[in-house]
Amino acid sequence: MSATWYECKVKYRKMSDTGAQKVTTEPYLVDAISYTEAETRINEEMKAYISDEFKITNIKVANFAEIHPFENTDRWFKSKVSLIAFDEESGKERKTNMYLLVQANDVKEAYDNTVAVMKDTMGDYTIPAITESPIMDVFPYFSGEEGELDRIHKFNEIKDSVPEVEEVEEAVDAISEEELPEPVLVDIDLDEEE
């Protein structure tokens, strides 16, 4: 099931660099199943960061197909990806746009991160635009069972790992170099009654 992301605008008093307080409105993303849950979740998340009063001024469904955080980055970028498909009936190329929210430090890194995210895509695509997003932070939904998920991921990695061809060849060579005893043939007649 894919996540539905809601963009929530939060208005609050923020201390500026000069030390004066100013009212600001910042957008945040939350993963939720309804507007009501989005409002509840953004209230919970903001209470941890904002000690004063704040107000949720707007909640809308965000048009991001996927969200991709990356380590050691601090800004969010909106990447427009055009998937290219060939329409056999009309004989023309057809483009379908989707938007990814990718974390990066600058536009070049956002482009590189978008390419990394799309590397397993089977079809052709282009990246016609990347713009810095005003999104301040993203709050995905966590069920509290992440420990279980980590163990499942590690299990699947081990299960799916395939030994390198060289390792297999070395093991075969080691077995063939060992002195193995000669096989003993035993003739057993199963039809003979005792």
Q: Residue 55 sits in a domain of what CATH number? A: 3.10.20
Sheet containing 5-15, strands listed edge to edge, beginning at the edge strand earlier in sequence: 54-61, 5-15, 21-31, 138-139
pLDDT in tens, 120-129: 888 899 999 9
Report whether 23 contacts 11 (CB < 8 A): yes
Residue 185 covered by a domain: no
Shared-domain flag, residues 32 and 79 = no
Count CB atoms within 10 A of the CB of residue 133: 22
49-64 pLDDT, tens per residue? 888 899 999 999 999 9
Q: Is residue 164 one of the residues assigned to a domain?
A: no
Tens digit of each residue's pLDDT (9 = 90 or more) over 15-62:
888 888 899 999 999 999 999 999 999 999 999 988 889 999 999 999
Q: Is residue 170 part of a domain?
A: no
CA 40: distance to chain centroid?
A: 24
Q: What average pLDDT does range 62-87 have in this prediction?
A: 92
pLDDT at 35: 95
Task: Give the pLDDT of residue 194.
Answer: 47
Tell me if the pTM is above 0.85: no
Cα separation of 105 and 79, whole Å? 14
Residues 58 and 48 in one domain: yes
Q: Which domain holds residue 82?
A: 64-143+153-159
Q: Does residue 166 surpass a pLDDT of 60?
A: no
Q: Which of 20-24, 79-83, 120-124, 155-159 is predicted most confidently?
A: 79-83
Domains contained in the chain, number: 2
The helix or strand, by DSSP H or E, that contains position 168, with its residue range, turns out to be helix 165-177
Asked if the model's pLDDT at residue 10 lies above 90, the reply is: yes
3-state secondary structure of 38: helix
